Amino acid sequence: MKFSANLGFLWTDRPLPEAIRAAKAAGFDAVECHWPYDVPPGAVKSALDDTGLVMLGLNTRRGDVAAGENGLSALPGREAEARAAIDQAIAYATATATPNIHVMAGFAEGDAAREVFVSNLKYACDAARPHGITILIEPLNRYDAPGYFLTTTGQALAIIDHVDAGNLKLMFDCYHVQLMEGDLTHRIKALLPSIGHIQFASVPDRGAPDHGEINYDHVFRVISHLGYVAPLGAEYKPGGNTDDTLGWMTGLAARHR
């Protein structure tokens, strides 16, 4: 089993290229990020080449962060901005050899929002396909992101089926799914053909995976037995110095290597 460091939360006290190098030194097999756009892609690609790591994924821009926005692609009337954000993400992913892009839906509800989201996802899949890039959508829990358009795996799967694009997959974040639906290992088994990436963190505090209500020893064992070989994304909040939270890498993670 392999593990990816999500640099949206880990080593955020360092420039992104240095965070990539820190992840390599800590023993991670890959990295992923949220919004790398303030860093020139050449600097990121250089750090990836130096370390031999792959950047697994990145997110489309959130929109007006100061106004509380958290994605654009399900917002009626914002299609031009949403597609510009998709184009930007594809350009950055292409420059850094990143194979996955999470298209963020944003805060919206209703049939109009779903129609816009589906349309923008079709655009994203068509634009990403020539570059070999997979588009991901991720349900977020209603406690951390109240009002977010996409909240359950069932809702996500219905949209994936409707869009009917081979390069549209589900981002299965164990933290969000546990808070909204539970029954993690049965859901992973059932949804595996539609899953493009798996992330994890403890529940309820979104910390390192060696505490909390989820038994990741069991979850990782099930994922391994299912034959899933892509790196799992450590998207947890360290609550301080990242290096001080990495005991799970020599304990929990080491048991599943």
What is the chain's Cα-based Rg?
A: 17
Q: Which one from 18, 79, 109, 138 is the annotated catalytic residue?
A: 138
- Rounded to the nearest 5 degrees, what angle is found at the Cα of 151, between the Cα atoms of 88 and 11? 55
235 is an active site residue? yes
Q: What is the pLDDT of residues 1-52, one digit of tens each?
A: 999 999 999 999 999 999 999 999 999 999 999 999 999 999 999 999 999 9
At 254, the pLDDT band (50, 70, 90 cuts) reads confident
Please list, residue by residue across 21-53, b when 16 or more beta carbons sit within 10 angstroms of its beta carbon and e when fewer do.
bbbbebebbbbbbbbbbebebeebbebbeebeb
Residue 184 confidence (pLDDT):
97
List helix spans (H) across the chain: 16-26, 41-51, 79-96, 111-128, 153-163, 174-180, 184-191, 216-225, 247-250
The CATH number of residue 113's host domain is: 3.20.20.150
81 is an active site residue? no
At 253, the pLDDT band (50, 70, 90 cuts) reads confident
Q: What is the pLDDT of residues 67-98, one digit of tens each?
A: 999 999 999 999 999 999 999 999 999 999 99
Q: Does position 257 have pLDDT exceeding 90, yes or no?
A: no
Which are the contacts of 21, defined by CB distance < 8 A and separation ≥ 6? 47, 50, 51
* Residues counted in the chain: 257
Residue 211 confidence (pLDDT):
96
Distance CA 88, CA 174 (A): 28
Q: Which one from 32, 79, 115, 235 is the annotated catalytic residue?
A: 235
Can you tell me which residue has the tokens 């890959």?
30
Overall average pLDDT of the 135-148 stretch: 98
Overall average pLDDT of the 110-136 stretch: 98
Overall average pLDDT of the 118-126 stretch: 98
Tell me how many domains the chain contains: 1
pTM exceeds 0.95, yes or no: yes
Overall average pLDDT of the 105-131 stretch: 98
Q: Does position 125 have pLDDT exceeding 90, yes or no?
A: yes
Average pLDDT, the chain: 97
Q: Does position 60 have pLDDT exceeding 90, yes or no?
A: yes
Q: Does position 171 have pLDDT exceeding 90, yes or no?
A: yes
Q: Does position 191 have pLDDT exceeding 90, yes or no?
A: yes
Give me the percent of the chain exceeding a pLDDT of 90: 97
Structural domain of 200:
3-256
